[in-house]
Structure 1
Amino acid sequence: MRRPDGFDRRTDEPVEAAADAAGGSSLEALRRRRDAALRAIAAHEAAATPRRSAEREPEPEREPRRWALSAYADLDDGADPTPATDGPEPAPLPDEERGSLAQRVDRAWREALREQRRLDREEARETRREAKEAKRARVRRERAEVRRFTAARRRQVRAALLTGGGLALALLLLVGLVWSPLMAVREVRVQGVERLDAAVVQEALGDAMGEPIATVTEEGVAQRLSTIPQIESFRVDVVPPSTVIVHVVERRPVAIVPTASGEAVIDAAGVALGPVDESTAMLPRLDGVELGSAEFEAIAAMLVAVPTSVLEATATISAPTESDIRLSLTSGQTVLWGGADESRLKADVVAALLATQDPAVAVVLDVRAPEHSVVRGS
């Protein structure tokens, strides 16, 4: 920065000497310097002030600060700054008033610039604070708009989360309840048995007692009941919290066959159901028929269609061929059955013919053609 003329003079020299050394234009130069300083301050203030936000209301234009006017006030009054030589000696001046006029002006100018910078910094801080407040307000407004437009989606997500959480909780409770001792098997009921003892079935399922009721399956029950040949099929019902009901369908015994260990009862499939007892002693015996042969398959198809009353009245069944089945009744009568076709109709015809015949008379009932049955003497 260029100092005013006469700045370098000694402080103990009189003002008049400085003025003479600088020439008659020192006051005029100081006035120009003052004007230049004022213009520089105004330009600096205009450049340092940030542009205000569009949302804020425009403030009225302020006059530029004129901090240096007081420093240059004595330049316009035309007074001589040189102290008078007559009279008592003046009191010593403070440090800020010592020195030449140029030095005092320079100090005042520097003070004005420092004050201006301080005010600029405060205004900048205030502007930044207002900008931050405006940014926070804008962010709040944007978030409010986002929440308003996504409220329905948030409700859907919340409902989905609540539903999923409820289902998961219910599943956990169900799993915990199923595997708890409260849901263990403590009772096995057997239904549908006639010739088979229910205790045998319950004993076969005894190892299922105490297991979780959810683990009881038909495959597991079938594996346990496979040792009981009298059971043809079954159905399992699970009744929470601790009951298992087994509905049994027994195999129907239809004939007696000789075995290595004695006579045994079989069903139409040729499955041995056990030894002969009081309930099966009236069944017919197969004479000369091998299990699994074609003759046995024909006899089995016939036995399925024949009612129990006819079977109990039959003593033996023979079949030289699969189309020549013969029944020997306990009354001494003989029935020529023929093949296994139309067994149901043949059974009805035999029952009707037996109702019309004298049991004491040995006759032959030929029902090989059931619609044209023949009764003849032996």
Structure 2
Amino acid sequence: MRRPDGFDSTPGDDAERTLDAPAPRSWRRRADVDEHAEASNAEHAEPELDPDGEPLGAAEPPRRRWALSAYEGLDDEAPAPAVEVDVEPERGSHAQRVDREWRAAQKHQRADERERAREAKRAAAQARRARIRSERAEVRRFTAGRRKQLRTGLLAIGGLVLALALLVGLVWSPLMAVRDVRVEGADRLDPAAVQAALGGHVGEPIATVTEEGVAAQLQAIPQIESFRLEVVPPSTMIVRIVERRPVAIIPADGGERVIDAAGVVLGGVDATTGSLPRLVGVEPGSPEFEAVATVLVSVPTEVLSTTQSIEAPTPSDIRLTLASGQSVQWGGAEDSRLKADVVAALIATQDPSVARVLDVRAPEHPVVRGS
């Protein structure tokens, strides 16, 4: 390989060259470097002193050197133009310059590190804020249905509470108090008597009216067997009663009394109950009365209205005396419904003057006798 031009010359040849004559580019570069090194060494070397103690060459102007304005290829034959530049002398020793450059590099590095740390911190904060926003958006998205259900439930509960408050206010207000008492189902009873017995409920809040309270007030009327209460807002109370059915007349202190099948005394005898059969020798509450009561509730009204008296020496020997003068051998209380039908058929078909005794103790085989 051929060496570039200028490397074959000797140091003596370099010394003979001047700046006025252009030299090869490689030589000029090397010369500039050497000249710069010599100037730096001369600047930092110990200055020589004259006999008066003044440094020699202190008034010399700064040295100048020639340098290429641009680097071109080493093999170019045409010399490159050179420009004259001023070179400021550098202060301090080489070690001091290196130390200054090292410290400046460290300072610049630390500044770069601080800037990168700030940028990383800002990026982390931005990422954290973005993550928090994303998590909140996801939470809102996943809990939207639950929040809607919660709002709906709260609204429903609030509506119920408001409705309950309004209802309580209306219940206890004078607008919802009992002002009208109606009695239905009274036949032998006077409705006014029942209304008078229920007068204590007038003015009472309609929501507080109960069947127990009505029953306590109707106990004073024995003719009522049962009742049914109906409350019609805002101020009406309807009482539907079921009257006891009078079935017989029993002797009592002070006169005869009408009783029902349960033995409850319903009052005195009047025009509507005077045709009821009279019990002879039968005391309410006795076994004989229990058997007779079964017969009384089984006999049709048309047969019961033609019966004058009922005797029962024993529970299995019940005897009826009819208004036509006929007598009925009833027997015990068993098969009372069938025996009642047979007696009704015999009364309708038999002549009272001939058939004086109707024996239905065996209702499938009744017997009719003349005496």
Quote the RMSD (CA, aligned, Å).
Answer: 2.5
Residue pair 2:355, 2:368 contacting (<8 A) in 1 also: no
Quote the Cα distance in structure 2 between the aligned partners of 1:234 and 1:315. Answer: 32
Of 335, 338, 356, the match for 2:349: 356
Q: 1:180 to 1:133 in 2, by over 3 A?
A: farther
Quote the Cα distance in structure 1 between the aligned partners of 2:152 and 2:218. Answer: 49
Of 145, 164, 169, the match for 1:171: 164
Residue pair 2:355, 2:369 contacting (<8 A) in 1 also: no
Where does residue 281 of structure 1 map in the other structure?
Answer: 274
Where does residue 317 of structure 2 map in the other structure?
Answer: 324
Matched, 1:44 2:110: yes
Report deviation, 1:251.
Answer: 0.9
Quote the Cα distance in structure 2 between the aligned partners of 1:177 and 1:53. Answer: 71
Matched, 1:294 2:360: no
Matched, 1:189 2:182: yes
Q: Please list, as runs of the form range in 1=range in 2, the aligned pairs for 1:1-378 lying within 5 A after superposition.
A: 26=92, 28=94, 30-51=96-117, 135-359=128-352, 363-378=356-371
Give CA-to-partner distance per residue, 1:313-359, whole Å, 9 cap, x none. Answer: 11111011111111111222211111111111211221222223345
Quote the Cα distance in structure 1 between the aligned partners of 2:138 and 2:209. Answer: 57
Report deviation, 1:37.
Answer: 3.1
Gaps (5+ residues) in structure 1?
1-15, 17-24, 55-126
Where does residue 117 of structure 1 map in the other structure?
Answer: none
Quote the Cα distance in structure 2 between the aligned partners of 1:339 and 1:306. Answer: 14
Bigger relative contact order, structure 1 or 2, given CA contacts below 8 A and separation 6+? 1
Identity, % of aligned pairs?
66
Report deviation, 1:186.
Answer: 1.5
Quote the Cα distance in structure 1 between the aligned partners of 2:92 and 2:119. Answer: 46
Q: 1:156 to 1:53 in 2, by over 3 A?
A: farther
TM value normalised by structure 2: 0.70
Residue pair 1:187, 1:242 contacting (<8 A) in 2 also: yes
SS in 2 for 1:245: strand
Quote the Cα distance in structure 1 between the aligned partners of 2:346 and 2:106. Answer: 143
**What is the letter of the counterpart of residue 214 of structure 1?**
A
Gaps (5+ residues) in structure 2?
1-54, 56-90
What is the number of equivalent residue pairs in this alignment?
284
Higher Cα Rg, which structure? 2
Quote the Cα distance in structure 1 between the aligned partners of 2:164 and 2:99. Answer: 91
SS in 1 for 2:364: helix
Quote the Cα distance in structure 1 between the aligned partners of 2:300 and 2:199. Answer: 36
Quote the Cα distance in structure 2 between the aligned partners of 1:26 and 1:142. Answer: 62
**What is the letter of the counterpart of residue 49 of structure 1?**
E
Quote the Cα distance in structure 2 between the aligned partners of 1:252 and 1:271. Answer: 10
